[in-house]
């Protein structure tokens, strides 16, 4: 059985966009890429129990897309995640980052296992 982290990484690899969990670490003296993705596990409540054991759990993950070119022409994260069995949730803008000059958009996805 694969973890939720592996499922997300497998879903996004086809986009050929740098991806990291929680934070993208950059070597000293290097610049951030023009477009990159950050994943966060928001929560994962149990959904069902039977015979004193958990039988279902949902996972809400947030995929944040950062781009220096604004919020149009972003990688198709929706299609990649939906094809992997995730359900699309809320979206929200992330404030512009002056230091790296990136715009951001956060997207929630839920997976039931």
Q: Which domains does the chain have, with CATH numbers?
A: 4-25+32-112 (3.30.2000.30)
Query: pLDDT tens digit string along 97-109?
Result: 998 999 999 999 9
pLDDT at res. 56: 95
Contacts of residue 76, defined as CB under 8 A and 6 or more positions apart, other chains included, come to 15
pLDDT at res. 110: 98
Residue 1 has pLDDT above 80, yes or no: no
How far is 50 from 57, CA to CA, in rounded Å?
12
If pLDDT is split at 50, 70 and 90, which confidence band does 24 have? confident
Query: pLDDT tens digit string along 45-95?
Result: 999 999 999 999 999 999 999 999 999 999 999 999 999 999 999 999 999
pLDDT at res. 27: 83
From residue 79, how far is each of 12, 15, 54, 76 by CA, in Å?
10, 10, 30, 6
- What is the model's pTM? 0.93
């Amino acid at each position: 059985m694969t973890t939720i982290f592996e499922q997300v990484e497998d879903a996004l690899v086809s986009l050929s966009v740098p991806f990291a969990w929680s934070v993208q670490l950059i070597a000293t003296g290097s610049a951030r890429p023009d477009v990159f993705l950050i994943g966060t596990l928001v929560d994962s409540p149990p959904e069902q129990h039977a015979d004193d054991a958990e039988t279902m759990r949902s996972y809400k993950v947030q995929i944040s897309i950062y781009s220096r070119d604004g919020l149009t022409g972003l990688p198709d994260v929706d299609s990649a995640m939906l094809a992997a069995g995730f359900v699309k949730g809320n979206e929200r803008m992330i404030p512009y980052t002056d230091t790296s000059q990136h715009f951001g958009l956060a997207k929630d996805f839920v997976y039931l296992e």
